[in-house]
Structures are given as C-alpha cells and as structure tokens.
Amino acid sequence: KAGVTQTPRYLIKTRGQQVTLSCSPISGHRSVSWYQQTPGQGLQFLFEYFSETQRNKGNFPGRFSGRQFSNSRSEMNVSTLELGDSALYLCASSPGLRAGELFFGEGSRLTVL
Amino acid sequence: EDQVTQSPEALRLQEGESSSLNCSYTVSGLRGLFWYRQDPGKGPEFLFTLYSAGEEKEKERLKATLTKKESFLHITAPKPEDSATYLCAVRGDYKLSFGAGTTVTVRA
C-alpha cells in the first residue's frame, strides 16, 4: 500500500513569491492535515480537510490556504512568502476526521531567500 | 490553549542503558495521547495511542504509559537504531498538538 506522497520534496523561493505544495494521501483516507515544522516552533497545525471541506484551521495568517479535491488529494498554497515561512511542510492522512493516528509524508522543505 | 511539554530536549544513551522520556500536557477534553518517532529527513511515524490514565502500550523496546497529567515513554535496553526524535501529541477538541520532541541518541 503506497504511503503519503508529497511533492515537491525541496524548493527554493524568494520573498514575495507564492508556492503550491501537493499531497496524495493513502488510498481510502479521506482526511488530510497539514503541519509546519521548524526548529524553533516544532510541529504547528495548519489545517485539516475532509470530504473537500476545511474542517479545522490553526493560527496562521490568511496567506496560508489549502484545498482538497474529490479524490482526497490536497494542495496548500502560501502567498507573499516571507523569510519566516522557511520550514518543512508535512502532510498527513487518516481514514477519518480528527484522528490521532496520522500517516505522514516525508514533507516538502521550503527555503525562502 | 492545549499545551504539550516534553523533557529532556536531548538524551544520549549508551547501548543497553534504559531511560524514560516525559510528556506533560494540559488539554481541554483529552481525546487521546499519541507518541510518534521521527527520523532525520522523514515525517513522523506513529507509535502508540493512549486514552485513559493507567493505560500502557508496548512495542519492542518501547513502553508508553499515561497518567492524568503526563505520559512516559520508557526505552528498555536501547539499540543504536532507536536513535530518533520522539514526539508526543494530544488530541483536543479540534486539533492534534505536538510537543517539541526529545532527541535520543544511542551509542554502540
């Protein structure tokens, strides 16, 4: 059974640009969550999608957005990038909503210059 | 706001030297406490779920326990392959909140 796939794995952007990250969940999983991981803040919850609807959102500015498609694949977008957005962005899937057992991808490492 | 505090931040062990990691938490309406392992450059990997005080779970050299305010992850006779960052997380009303993790290094 294939795991959670995130693309791209690495990317470099400059301040002011925008970025879109993609996540393909485990087959049959309908919930996708996104987390930002930095050395200083650890894992911070961004949002959770279930059945194409955002169900929960963390304390991030509106520059961070996401969506989920009918096949459960998800994308997140960060607009007007800032240096502080440099981080590992992790996607996790689970069969249902608000689960504790999450299956994580390997992440997309974003560097903002 | 839900809070999770893990200690110590880092732990260096000799192979075979048992130790424990601590996770203390405050959460409104605990819906589970979870332990994950994260290797460098990888996403976290689920280890255990604990729901109620007194509950214990074991997997190979790892044993997780839960009280009303904290959880412990005991590592018995660790091997170098147990080196990783161990993350604790609690499920509250709407999100999973993670601690900063304990980085364990086991020397042969």
Tell me, yes or no, if B43 comes closer than 8 A to chain A by beta carbon.
yes
Among candidate residues A76, A75, A72, the one with its CA nearest the CA of residue A94: A72
Query: What is the distance in angstroms between the Cα of B43 and the nearest Cα belonging to chain A?
Result: 4
**In the sheet that A5-7 helps form, which strands lie side by side, from edge to edge?**
A5-7, A19-24, A74-78, A64-68
Contact A4, A26 (CB under 8 A): yes
pLDDT of residue B70: 96
pLDDT of residue B29: 81
pLDDT of residue A59: 93
Mean pLDDT for A55-72 is: 95
Show the DSSP H helices in chain B as ranges: none
Q: Is A71 a residue whose pLDDT tops 80?
A: yes
Distance from C-alpha of A11 to C-alpha of A24, rounded to nearest angstrom: 18
Give the A-side interface with B, CB within 8 Å. 4, 33, 35, 42-43, 45, 48, 56, 58, 90, 92, 98, 100-107
| Selected residue with higher pLDDT from B41 and B24 | B24
Tell me which amino acid residue B19 is. S
Beta bridge partners of B3: B26
pLDDT of residue A64: 98
pLDDT of residue A41: 87
pLDDT of residue B87: 98
Distance from C-alpha of B77 to C-alpha of B25, rounded to nearest angstrom: 27
Q: Among A90-99, B8-17, B83-92, where is mean pLDDT lowest?
A: A90-99
Q: Among A66-80, B68-82, B90-104, where is mean pLDDT lowest?
A: B90-104
What is the average pLDDT value for chain B, to the nearest integer? Answer: 95
Say if the Cβ atoms of B89 and A100 lie within 8 Å. Answer: yes
CA dist B63 → A96, A100, B10, B49, B55 (Å): 26, 18, 19, 11, 11
pLDDT of residue A98: 78
Contact B101, B45 (CB under 8 A): no
Query: What is the distance in angstroms between the Cα of A12 and the nearest Cα belonging to chain B?
Result: 17
Say if the Cβ atoms of B46 and A101 lie within 8 Å. Answer: yes
What 3-state DSSP class applies to A107?
A: coil
Say if the Cβ atoms of A42 and B101 lie within 8 Å. Answer: yes
pLDDT of residue B51: 92
Show the DSSP H helices in chain A as ranges: none
Could you identify the residue written with the tokens 């959670």?
A4
Say if the Cβ atoms of A104 and B45 lie within 8 Å. Answer: yes
Classify residue B49 by burial, with Cβ atoms within 10 Å: 0-12, 13-18, 19+: middle
pLDDT of residue A100: 82
What 3-state DSSP class applies to B51?
A: coil
Largest CA distance in chain B: 42
Omega within 30 of 0 (cis) for the link into B8: yes
Tell me which amino acid residue A41 is. Q
Residue B81 has phi, psi (to 5 degrees) of -70, -5
